[in-house]
Structure 1
Amino acid sequence: MRTPLITPQGLKDLKAELDELWRVERPEVTKKVSWAASLGDRSENADYQYNKKRLREIDRRVRYLRKCIENLKVVEYHPDQEGKVFFGAWVEVENDEGEVLTFRIVGYDEIFNRKNYISIDAPMARALLKKEVDDEAVVRTEAGKTTWYINAIRYEP
């Protein structure tokens, strides 16, 4: 089960993607499908086949985004969050081997195509919630337990 939270920027990005798909990409692909269909035999027409498939993908994504946006709760930054790890925080952590990671804790729909974002539902995020700088967090995964130390916490107001 995913936690239906999102940052204001994440919501803005999802709405921009929806707008781009619905107002720009879908009309272009629809024109290509109509043009390819007018050429005759659709069974051997690669343009028709490809663009029809793309149209289904766009429609599927549009349905998902509309439903998703409707159900998400936007979590705004609040000054009371300072000093502790909460949703939307940028966190720098270090383990005993000296490995340092920096990432932002965000909603599930924001993590794609971003190397430095993790979902609020990830074991690392769950272990870090409500911790402060210099606290240690024990992250339990299928691979075992790992201890991480919090070096820094910051927010984008």
Structure 2
Amino acid sequence: MDRPNYITPAGYAALRAEYDVLLAGERPKLVETIAWAAGNGDRSENGDYIYGRKRLREIDRRLGWLSKRMKAAKVIDPAVQEDRARIWFGAQTTIVDADDRERTLTLVGDDEADASAGRIGWNAPLARALRGAGVGDVRRVTLPAGDREYEVLAIAYPATDRFVASD
């Protein structure tokens, strides 16, 4: 991996939680079902066995991916960002385009991005264009729909507990 996998504490906790659920919860139950189905005789027409083996491969692939992402993760708490006057990892920023459409975005790790919730990945084109910008700065970004300019209206960083996963 050529770039660090930046992630918030909550994003890392979500990856870890999914890993734990798959490894300690879903996988053992599935292995038990496969063993039961295998004991029923002919495996070639046994739906429980065939589906179980397919699902087990999917879970193992996902566990491998999650494991790699967690090993490469560099957890950064946006609440301790020193330069709060500029847009860096974890910043919540309000931008406006030439058509006076405002958007509020939060720059998060690529694994926790959700554009519909206003969270964009650190390596997304818009996030890369906004990095280091201050209030009043205008940044140009090339998007699939063409070049657009955005002006930064506000920058805020969350309190620590916003990104900490709850128990």
State whether TM-score is above 0.5. yes
The structural deviation recorded for 1:100 is 2.1
Unaligned runs of 5+ in 2: 161-167
2:56 and 2:94 mapped to 1: Cα distance?
41
1:96 and 1:50 mapped to 2: Cα distance?
52
* SS of structure 2 residue aligned to 1:59: helix
Percent of residue pairs identical: 39
2:8 and 2:46 mapped to 1: Cα distance?
44
Instruction: Provide the residue aligned with 1:62 in structure 2.
Output: 63
Structure 2 matches for 1:37-56, cutoff 5 A?
Answer: 37-56=38-57
Q: What number of residue pairs does the alignment pair up?
A: 157
Q: Does 1:25 align with 2:26?
A: yes
Please tell me the root mean square deviation across aligned C-alpha atoms, in Å: 1.8
Contact 2:114 2:120 (8 Å CA) reproduced: no
Deviations 1:44-86 (A, max 9, x none): 1112111211111111111111122111111223242312110
Task: Write out the 4+ residue segments of structure 1 that deviate beyond 6 Å after TM superposition.
Answer: none
* TM-score (norm. length: structure 2): 0.85
> Could you say if the C-alpha distance between residues 50 and 86 of structure 1 is closer, same or farther in structure 2, counting changes exceeding 3 Å?
same
> Could you say if the C-alpha distance between residues 2 and 99 of structure 1 is closer, same or farther in structure 2, counting changes exceeding 3 Å?
farther
The structural deviation recorded for 1:142 is 4.3
Unaligned runs of 5+ in 1: none
Query: Which amino acid letter does the alignment assign opposite residue 95 of structure 1?
Result: D
Instruction: Provide the residue aligned with 2:155 in structure 1.
Output: 153
Query: Which amino acid letter does the alignment assign opposite residue 5 of structure 1?
Result: Y
* SS of structure 1 residue aligned to 2:82: helix
1:146 and 1:70 mapped to 2: Cα distance?
36
Given the alignment, which residue of 90, 96, 99 partners 1:97? 99
Instruction: Provide the residue aligned with 2:14 in structure 1.
Output: 13
